[in-house]
Chains A and B, each alone.
Chain A
Amino acid sequence: MDIIRNFCIIAHIDHGKSTLADRMLQLTGVVDERQMRAQYLDRMDIERERGITIKSQAVRLPWTGRDGRGYVLNLIDTPGHVDFTYEVSRSLAACEGAILLVDAAQGIEAQTLANLYLALAADLHLIPVLNKIDLPAAQPARYAEELAGILGCDPAEVLQVSAKTGEGVRDLLNEVVSQVPPPRGDPHAPARALIFDSVYDTYRGVVTYVRVVDGRLSRREKSLMMSTGAAHDTLEVGVISPEPVPVASLGAGEVGYLITGVKDVRQARVGDTVTRADRPAAEALAGYDHPRPMVFSGLYPMDGDDYPDLRDALDKLSLNDAALVYEPETSTALGFGFRCGFLGLLHMEIVRERLEREFDLSLISTAPNVVYRVTMDSGAELTVTNPSDFPSGQAGVATVSGDIAKGKIAAVFEPVVKATILAPADYIGTIMELCQSRRGTLLGMEYLSTDRVEIRYRMPLAEIIFDFFDQLKSRSRGYASLDYEADGEQEANLVKVDILLQGQPVDAFSQIVHADAAREYGLSMTSKLRELIPRQQFEVPIQAAIGSRVIARENIRALRKDVLAKCYGGDITRKRKLLEKQKEGKKRMKTIGRVEVPQEAFIAALSTTPDKR
């Protein structure tokens, strides 16, 4: 056990974590030049393209230390985005140490800081490292000072590397050996292993990643999931180096994988403890909280015929993504689809992109919303994940939620988060202005260095998921970074704004907003739709309303002319093709009452970010 070092890398997107991992794979000889490809550990195309890690990976690296001894280093890759904090904490629990990797030209970012705090809370040994020292813009001295200030170490202890050129990486691996403590655990006790990830593989079934804490797991004995009590044949145990390599057994302190013939990741739940069926442990290891979806959105196929395919695709994706929840819903405007719950906006985007790319689906998604808790005068309580289900608040008016939603609303509660923003001090004013306008309450502000600050706000989550990040980036010229964590709920004066076309409500456009922002939402939505919906053969009023009270109104004037004046002999083919195209387009239109709304109008109206054109 004393030759094992389990560690992870904590870094912000683009700070070079995957490149550093690539260099480590090469230096330790696990991957040779011929096999090498960039971002070796990021398996999904989407991970490589976006330069992010979504799923954690564990890879075993053999290394000869300065003392000449052979060591086994287990690098446990961690996701770097706020949405995946949950995955990060899982990875951290499998390690004794963490490399804190920071771009020497940019300094620490808010999410890195948040993950750093998670690592400190998990009692991990931290090795601060500045990357990209080869860049002309690098300021290693300045950011070493900043890191030292946060960690309470000496700036000289901050290592400097270039993952790109490989400079300093050998020293870093040696420091991992000398600084990260070896795992502790009882090799003779009944086996206990913590599941830190579970991945569905089409060919091999569920592959379960574990960190063995006590005892030994081997292929010969049946394994037992302690939360369910279900025993399974152990078909294979192995390590990743960097491809799966079967081994006879995994001992205390080791990191590897199990294949048990389980078909569904939910039967090998992350956070569960695996033990041996013949000699089970008495007590399970401390697990993790199950991740709770924070952001909801309706996903609908562009082509209604694709609904069964969307259902199959969601079933398959969720095999690998325990955080994704979904249930069928019907929209009068968009047809049959699913209300899906996500960890955050990036999670939502990634799921959507994977559905479109890996399953060849074209989707429309409704504007994201959070979960509301609504209490009624009658004492009844509702959980609202879809704005259409928000009670109208008027006595005697039934909504789709049925009887329970009748009567008057007593109170509405919305989720709140603690947001941490790191930014150059120059932008304090504009950032505070933004947070204030989003109903934030200042919790505190600290200077990380003379010109960088950490600003903390308590804010409604709903304000963050609506265009906040883009605003923050544009107001700070891209310098500010954001992290947030759930922080309970608060009562708020919230109302549902409905959008009506010719008097018909369009459920996909209903949104729950703060009463003070309702009119602005109504105005922006109605004017946006006025631009997006083509003129019809009749006038179309567009209204925004709270209940029966109209708060904004626009008109689409009736179309008076659409005919192409000329039609010579040479125009006929083109005119017929145009007509065929328009007829196709008409099939893809959604009809609200008599109004034909092109799908592009839905997509554009539902996008949270303003059109960049």
Chain B
Amino acid sequence: MAGALPAGDPVPPDGALPAAALAGVGERPFGVYVHVPFCLTRCGYCDFNTYTAAELGGGASRDGYAALAIAEIRFARRVLGTARAPVTSVFFGGGTPTVLPPSHLAEIVRAIDGEFGLAAGAEVTVEANPETVDERVMAGLRAAGMTRISLGMQSAAPHVLATLDRVHEPGRPARCARWAREAGFEHVNLDLIYGTPGESAADWAATLEAAVAAGPDHISAYALIVEPGTRLAARVGRGEVPRPDDDAMADRYLAADDLLTAAGLRWYEISNWAAGDRARCRHNLLYWTGGDWWGIGPGAHSHIGGTRWWNVKHPTAYAARITAGVSPGHAREVLTASERWLEQVLLETRLASGFPLDGLGGKGRVAAGAAVASGLLDAAALRSGRVVLTRQGRLLADGVVRDLTG
């Protein structure tokens, strides 16, 4: 969702998908992503598609957003036809989904259930910024059908939060996690960011400890990326804050892996750790294993059976398309077999479960052997026919994937 949208082929106004994409819908896991393009304030590092005004004109507003999202859900049902396609996961992301009242989110969940049916035990995640939720909202979110909450904690260090323009007080995420448990959330994730300019190794260690102490069953830790066009990029460009250093990032990553592993959270994707298999985020796994999902909302990306598309970016343009009953798709790509293979290697190599060795070409298998010798791939896993990154290899995953697919 970040930055500018990629180039692609036009999307037909009725959103029709190639027959090859539709074949097998419902047999693969099927998720729905709902993008909520609103925030109360804009953070300096963020280049996501989000807006702070409540009223954007042209029918795009916070209050009217649920109706638009529901209209696209109905549109999705028409495009996918009559095939049974129970929804295995829903993810409300943003932006800040919790700037909408829980009742609006509930309407959207009901619409998804009404059109497609929620599978038994479906995972329904909502992202929330700590300052936007309290005990009452937690209860509302649970009542709306959410089973998992992902809290944007980012850091426990006040000066780091300040650099990131995050407005919550450092102790609040832990309280939110407790309220979430009390409200009956089965799964709680804390999102962390490391490598923020001004963050020390001690700041990061303290952040990890505070996060673990809050008792989540899942932690995502992302290296800060200075995205072009953001306020942070401008500040780095002017020399007001130092550019994050890759070597320091590597140290932070290893520190996170040590501490989280010791706390019983195991890595299952480069930047994600979970307490056991059931705590893993099923919706994100769907992205990483080539599942189907429909992205609702402006700028949202979708993938059905090898066809990817992405919606128009601005909420006003999106509202106009939805109101006119035409596809909000801005552009799409129908992946070739080799593109699908490349994505599969790229995504699955990032997972602890890895990628099957016999899925690689001859050159790739040779490269895998060399990567074992360099300490980047796990020797035992390779012997049993799987490509699995070592700790050092996780940090150099992009180069490893380049070699495996070369």
Contacting residue for A570 out of B223, B310, B342, B347, CB 8 A: B310
Q: Is the CB of A569 within 8 A of B303?
A: yes
Contacting residues of chain B (300-340) with chain A, CB-CB under 8 angstroms: 300-301, 303, 308, 310, 333, 339
Q: Does A572 sit at the interface, judged by CB under 8 A?
A: yes
Task: Give the CA-CA distance A537 to B367 in the complex, in Å.
Answer: 13
Tell me what chain B mostly uses at the interface: helix, strand, loop, or mixed.
mixed
Q: Does B377 sit at the interface, judged by CB under 8 A?
A: no
Contacting residue for A576 out of B247, B293, B301, B346, CB 8 A: B346
Question: Other than the known A574-B6, A579-B401, what 5 A-B pairs have Cβ atoms closer than 8 Å?
Answer: A565-B271, A570-B299, A573-B333, A579-B342, A579-B405
Q: Is the CB of A565 within 8 A of B270?
A: yes
Q: Is the CB of A562 within 8 A of B310?
A: no
Q: Does B287 sit at the interface, judged by CB under 8 A?
A: yes
Q: Is the CB of B225 within 8 A of A559?
A: no
What is the count of residue pairs linking A and B with beta-carbon distances less than 8 angstroms? Answer: 102
Contacting residues, chain B, for A567 (C-beta < 8 A): 270, 287-288, 347, 350
Contacting residues of chain A (536-593) with chain B, CB-CB under 8 angstroms: 537-538, 557, 559-577, 579-580, 582-583, 586
Interface residues of A (CB under 8 A from B): 537-538, 557, 559-577, 579-580, 582-583, 586
Which of B18-26, B159-167, B196-204, B391-399 lies at the interface with chain A?
A: B391-399
Contacting residues, chain B, for A563 (C-beta < 8 A): 270, 350, 394-398
Total residues of chain B contacting the partner, CB 8 A: 47
Produce 1/0 per residue, B369-406, CB < 8 A to A.
Answer: 00000101000000000000000001111110110011
Q: Is the CB of A562 within 8 A of B33?
A: no
Q: Chain B's nearest CB lies how many Å from the CB of A139?
A: 45
Contacting residue for A580 out of B223, B301, B342, CB 8 A: B342
Q: Is the CB of B342 within 8 A of A537?
A: no
User: Given the interface contacts A573-B301, A575-B346, does A566 sit within 8 Å of B225 by beta carbon?
Assistant: yes
Q: Is the CB of B223 within 8 A of A565?
A: yes
Contacting residues, chain B, for A562 (C-beta < 8 A): 246, 395-399
Most chain B beta carbons < 10 A, residue from A557, A561, A566 = A561
Contacting residue for B2 out of A537, A557, A570, A586, CB 8 A: A570
Q: Is the CB of A561 within 8 A of B253?
A: yes
Q: Is the CB of A571 within 8 A of B396?
A: no
Task: Give the CA-CA distance A582 to B222 in the complex, in Å.
Answer: 23
Produce 1/0 per residue, B345-363, CB < 8 A to A.
Answer: 0110010000000000000
Q: Chain A's nearest CB lies how many Å from the CB of B225?
A: 7
Q: Does B250 sit at the interface, judged by CB under 8 A?
A: yes
Q: Is the CB of B308 within 8 A of A572?
A: yes
Task: Give the CA-CA distance A583 to B398 in the complex, in Å.
Answer: 11
Q: Does B102 sit at the interface, judged by CB under 8 A?
A: no
Q: Is the CB of A569 within 8 A of B287?
A: yes
Q: Chain A's nearest CB lies how many Å from the CB of B393?
A: 9
Q: Is the CB of B249 within 8 A of A561?
A: yes
20 CB contacts below 8 A, A to B, read A560-B246, A560-B396, A561-B223, A561-B247, A561-B249, A561-B250, A562-B399, A563-B395, A563-B397, A566-B271, A568-B284, A568-B287, A572-B287, A573-B6, A576-B339, A577-B6, A579-B342, A579-B346, A582-B398, A583-B402
Closest to A571 in B: B2
Closest to B340 in A: A576
Contacting residues, chain A, for B295 (C-beta < 8 A): 569-570
Closest to B331 in A: A573
Q: Does B343 sit at the interface, judged by CB under 8 A?
A: yes
Contacting residues, chain B, for A583 (C-beta < 8 A): 402, 405-406
Q: Is the CB of B300 within 8 A of A570?
A: yes
User: Given the interface contacts A559-B396, A579-B342, A586-B406, does A569 sit within 8 Å of B293 by beta carbon?
Assistant: yes
Q: Chain A's nearest CB lies how many Å from the CB of B136?
A: 30
Contacting residues of chain B (238-254) with chain A, CB-CB under 8 angstroms: 246-247, 249-250, 253
Q: Does B1 sit at the interface, judged by CB under 8 A?
A: yes
Task: Give the CA-CA distance A580 to B338 in the complex, in Å.
Answer: 11
Task: Give the CA-CA distance A562 to B396 in the complex, in Å.
Answer: 5
Q: Chain A's nearest CB lies how many Å from the CB of B170?
A: 22
Contacting residues, chain A, for B247 (C-beta < 8 A): 557, 560-561
Contacting residues, chain A, for B223 (C-beta < 8 A): 561, 565
Contacting residue for A537 out of B8, B222, B374, B401, CB 8 A: B374
Q: Is the CB of B346 within 8 A of A570?
A: no
Contacting residues, chain B, for A571 (C-beta < 8 A): 2
Task: Give the CA-CA distance A505 to B270 in the complex, in Å.
Answer: 38
Q: Is the CB of B222 within 8 A of A559?
A: no
Task: Give the CA-CA distance A559 to B6 in the complex, in Å.
Answer: 29
User: Given the interface contacts A560-B246, A565-B225, does A576 sit within 8 Å of B396 by beta carbon?
Assistant: no
Q: Chain B's nearest CB lies how many Å from the CB of A598?
A: 13
Most chain B beta carbons < 10 A, residue from A559, A562, A573, A579 = A573
Contacting residue for B343 out of A557, A572, A586, CB 8 A: A572
Q: Chain A's nearest CB lies how many Å from the CB of B371?
A: 9
Task: Give the CA-CA distance A537 to B402 in the complex, in Å.
Answer: 13
Contacting residue for A579 out of B249, B310, B402, CB 8 A: B402
Q: Is the CB of A538 within 8 A of B374?
A: yes
Contacting residues, chain A, for B333 (C-beta < 8 A): 573
Task: Give the CA-CA distance A569 to B346 in the complex, in Å.
Answer: 13
Produce 1/0 per residue, B125-143, CB < 8 A to A.
Answer: 0000000000000000000
Q: Chain B's nearest CB lies how many Å from the CB of A162?
A: 48
Task: Give the CA-CA distance A577 to B5 in the complex, in Å.
Answer: 12
User: Given the interface contacts A566-B225, A573-B301, does A560 sit within 8 Å of B346 by beta carbon?
Assistant: no
Task: Give the CA-CA distance A561 to B245 in the complex, in Å.
Answer: 10
Q: Is the CB of A537 within 8 A of B271?
A: no
Q: Is the CB of B402 within 8 A of A570?
A: no
Q: Chain B's nearest CB lies how many Å from the CB of A295?
A: 39
Task: Give the CA-CA distance A563 to B308 in the complex, in Å.
Answer: 23
Task: Give the CA-CA distance A570 to B347 in the complex, in Å.
Answer: 13
Contacting residues, chain A, for B6 (C-beta < 8 A): 573-574, 577
Task: Give the CA-CA distance A567 to B284 in the complex, in Å.
Answer: 9
